[in-house]
C-alpha cells in the first residue's frame, strides 16, 4: 500500500473586513485574522493611506501587539485616462500587473507552511478584484496555494442599514451598478438601483425624475456623512457636502441607492 507524502501547502484567507467600522468585522473574520502569519496590504499611495491605517488599527485591536507580520506593497496605478472601449484593456493590464505583485508576495514572503491573508474592503464578492487576481496567479502556475473567502459587510449593506431602509421593495428586484453604467441610462426593469464607484455624481442626471436618494460617504467611519430625500432637493446638498469633504480629506468613497417612485399615471 502506497502512502502519499504530506506536502505543505501555502494557505491564503481573503478576508472581508467591512466598509470602515471595525465593529463590522465578523467573528469568522477575527478567527481568520488570528490564524494568519502574514498580512498583505496593497496601498495606492497617500490618498488611500487612511485605509491602510484603518486596516492596521483593526489588526492591533484583534491581535497581540506586534504579534503579526505585515508586508506592504505599492498598488500599480490604473490608467484612468482610457475611456470608452479602451476601458477593458486598461483594466486587464492593471490586473496583470497586480497579479505579478501578488505572485511575488506569495512566493517570496509566505513560507511553504504559512498562512497569508488579504484584507479586502467590504465584501470580497462585490466590485473587488482580489479573487480574480488570485485565480490568475494560480493559472500562471509558478506558485501553489489554497485559498478561502470570508464574507464581509459590504458598503451596500452598511449604507441601507445606516438609512434604516431595505435594498428592495416587496418582491421587486434591485440592481447594483457603477456610476459609469448609470451614465448610460437608468437601468431598465428596475426601480431600485445602488450605485458605487461614481466619481462624477451621476445621480444629478436624474434629478428631474420622481426618485428618492439614500446617499452615504465614508460610511462606518468617524467622517461618515448621510443624506436622504427626494433627489431634486438632496442633490445640491450632496454636491456641496461631497465637495467640502473631498477638499478636506483629499479622497472620498460614497455609495447611494436611487429609489424611483411608481408613476401616478
Q: Which residues bind ligand SAM (CB under 6 A)?
A: 19-20, 121-123, 126-128, 154-155, 196-197, 216-220, 253-255
- How far, CA to CA in Å, does 70 sit from each of 13, 42, 137, 251? 14, 10, 20, 24
Taking the complex as a whole, the smallest distance from the CB of residue 197 to ligand SAM amounts, in Å, to 4
Residue 36 or 255 with smaller CB distance to ligand SAM: 255
Q: What is the C-alpha separation between 91 and 95, in angstroms, rounded?
A: 6
Q: Which three cell numbers stand for residue 255?
A: 455609495
Q: Which of 14, 250, 258 is nearest to 128 (CA)?
A: 14
Q: Which three cell numbers stand for residue 191?
A: 426601480
Q: What is the C-alpha separation between 119 and 157, in angstroms, rounded?
A: 18
Place of cell 418582491: 171
Across the strands, what pairs with 42? Answer: 73
Backbone angles phi and psi of 72, in degrees to 5: -100, 145
The answer to whether residues 213 and 232 touch, using CB atoms and an 8 Å cutoff, is: no
The CA R_g of the chain, rounded to the nearest whole Å, is 21
Taking the complex as a whole, the smallest distance from the CB of residue 89 to ligand SAM amounts, in Å, to 19
Taking the complex as a whole, the smallest distance from the CB of residue 154 to ligand SAM amounts, in Å, to 3
Taking the complex as a whole, the smallest distance from the CB of residue 95 to ligand SAM amounts, in Å, to 13
Q: Which position's Cβ is nearest ligand SAM?
A: 122
Residue 59 or 252 with smaller CB distance to ligand SAM: 252
Residue 217 or 235 with smaller CB distance to ligand SAM: 217
Residue 121 or 206 with smaller CB distance to ligand SAM: 121
Residue 59 or 194 with smaller CB distance to ligand SAM: 194
Q: What is the C-alpha separation between 100 and 117, in angstroms, rounded?
A: 17
Taking the complex as a whole, the smallest distance from the CB of residue 124 to ligand SAM amounts, in Å, to 7
Amino acid at each position: 500500500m502506497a502512502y502519499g507524502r504530506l506536502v505543505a501547502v501555502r494557505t491564503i484567507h481573503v478576508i472581508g473586513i467591512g466598509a470602515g467600522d471595525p465593529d463590522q468585522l465578523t467573528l469568522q473574520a477575527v478567527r481568520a485574522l488570528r490564524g494568519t502569519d502574514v498580512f498583505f496590504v496593497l496601498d495606492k499611495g497617500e490618498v488611500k493611506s487612511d485605509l491602510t491605517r484603518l486596516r492596521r488599527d483593526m489588526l492591533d485591536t484583534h491581535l497581540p501587539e506586534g504579534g503579526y507580520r505585515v508586508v506592504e506593497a505599492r498598488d500599480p496605478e490604473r490608467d484612468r485616462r482610457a475611456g470608452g472601449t479602451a476601458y477593458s484593456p486598461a483594466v486587464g493590464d492593471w490586473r496583470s500587473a497586480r497579479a505579478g505583485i501578488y505572485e511575488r508576495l506569495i512566493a517570496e514572503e509566505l513560507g511553504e507552511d504559512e498562512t497569508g491573508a488579504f484584507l479586502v474592503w467590504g465584501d470580497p464578492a462585490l466590485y473587488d478584484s482580489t479573487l480574480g487576481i488570485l485565480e490568475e496567479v494560480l493559472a500562471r502556475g509558478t506558485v501553489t496555494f489554497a485559498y478561502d473567502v470570508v464574507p464581509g459587510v459590504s458598503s451596500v449593506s452598511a449604507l441601507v442599514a445606516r438609512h434604516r431602509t431595505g435594498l428592495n421593495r416587496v418582491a421587486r428586484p434591485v440592481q447594483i451598478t457603477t456610476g459609469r453604467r448609470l451614465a448610460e441610462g437608468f437601468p431598465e426593469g428596475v426601480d431600485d438601483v445602488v450605485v458605487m464607484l461614481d466619481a462624477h455624481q451621476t445621480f444629478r442626471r436624474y434629478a428631474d425624475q420622481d426618485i428618492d436618494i439614500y446617499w452615504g460617504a465614508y460610511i462606518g467611519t468617524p467622517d461618515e456623512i448621510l443624506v436622504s430625500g427626494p433627489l431634486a432637493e438632496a442633490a445640491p446638498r450632496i454636491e456641496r457636502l461631497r465637495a467640502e469633504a473631498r477638499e478636506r480629506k483629499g479622497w472620498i468613497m460614497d455609495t447611494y441607492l436611487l429609489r424611483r417612485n411608481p408613476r401616478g399615471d
